[in-house]
A = this chain, B = another copy of it.
């Protein structure tokens, strides 16, 4: 069905190159003791609002920073700057995903010392297809799905759910208004990735936020304990 064998071949080389950069990044992150979380979702599922809330709540207790990918605007970086954490925007132009080399360059340009950070968040371009194939060296990939998008998304975009570690169902405050079916969503997530951890969350009301913060703290502690062995 794919009409471009040449495109596929070149893409494979790009992916291979990306994996090498991602692997080097992962080693740097581990050595520096920073826990890296990337966020993927479709446009408008609430990544930036969610991240702003998380950064604001983490900041008094942890050293945090964020990279945000976007095609064209710096809106997200401006919004996230309100959390008073260091934020750097990556403009991708027409590219529908972030790549490991962009993350690497952005860290250099920002001049951040990774050893001075506990958490680094990476917000990918809003897209449920392209980002799935690009490892960014992150420790945890989180896929967000808002209740307004419908329960079938895990089945329709299986690769992104498969390549993610955790799913967060956002905008839970709107669940009743859109007659969201939690049971069928869980079933669809498990069909693609059995046993995947699913958080139910509203950045507006705060539902589920504490549970997610506890989870992040645990994962940071585990990761440092493993690195110390």
The chain A residues found within 8 Å of chain B, CB to CB, are: 1-4, 6-7, 10-11, 13-14, 17, 42-45, 70-73, 75, 91-96, 99, 101-102, 125-130, 133, 146, 148-150, 152-153, 155-159, 171, 174, 177-178
Q: Secondary structure of the A side of the interface?
A: loop
Least Cβ–Cβ distance between A53 and chain B, in angstroms: 15
User: Given A71-B159, A177-B177, A102 and B3 touching (CB < 8 A)?
Assistant: yes
Copies in the complex: 2
| Partner among B11, B102, B174 whose Cβ is within 8 Å of the Cβ of A178 | B174
Q: Are the CB atoms of A129 and B94 closer together than 8 Å?
A: yes
**Residues of chain B with a CB closer than 8 A to A127's CB:** 96, 127-129
Q: Are the CB atoms of A149 and B2 closer together than 8 Å?
A: no
Q: Are the CB atoms of B72 and A130 closer together than 8 Å?
A: no
Q: What is the chain B residue whose CB lies nearest that of A192?
A: B72
State the CA gap A71–B155 with chains docked (Å).
9
User: Given A43-B42, A177-B177, A75 and B3 touching (CB < 8 A)?
Assistant: no
| Partner among B17, B155, B159, B174 whose Cβ is within 8 Å of the Cβ of A174 | B174
**Residues of chain B with a CB closer than 8 A to A70's CB:** 156
**Residues of chain B with a CB closer than 8 A to A10's CB:** 4, 6-7, 10
Can you add 10 more A-B contacts, CB < 8 Å, to A1-B102, A10-B10, A44-B150? A3-B101, A42-B44, A44-B45, A94-B129, A94-B133, A126-B157, A130-B130, A148-B171, A148-B174, A177-B177
Q: Are the CB atoms of A129 and B125 closer together than 8 Å?
A: yes
| Partner among B93, B102, B126, B155 whose Cβ is within 8 Å of the Cβ of A75 | B155
| Partner among B14, B130, B177 whose Cβ is within 8 Å of the Cβ of A129 | B130
Least Cβ–Cβ distance between A146 and chain B, in angstroms: 7
**Residues of chain B with a CB closer than 8 A to A13's CB:** 6
For the complex of A and B, the 3 pairs showing the least CB-CB separation, nearest first, are: A44-B149, A96-B129, A148-B148
State the CA gap A96–B133 with chains docked (Å).
12
State the CA gap A7–B134 with chains docked (Å).
15
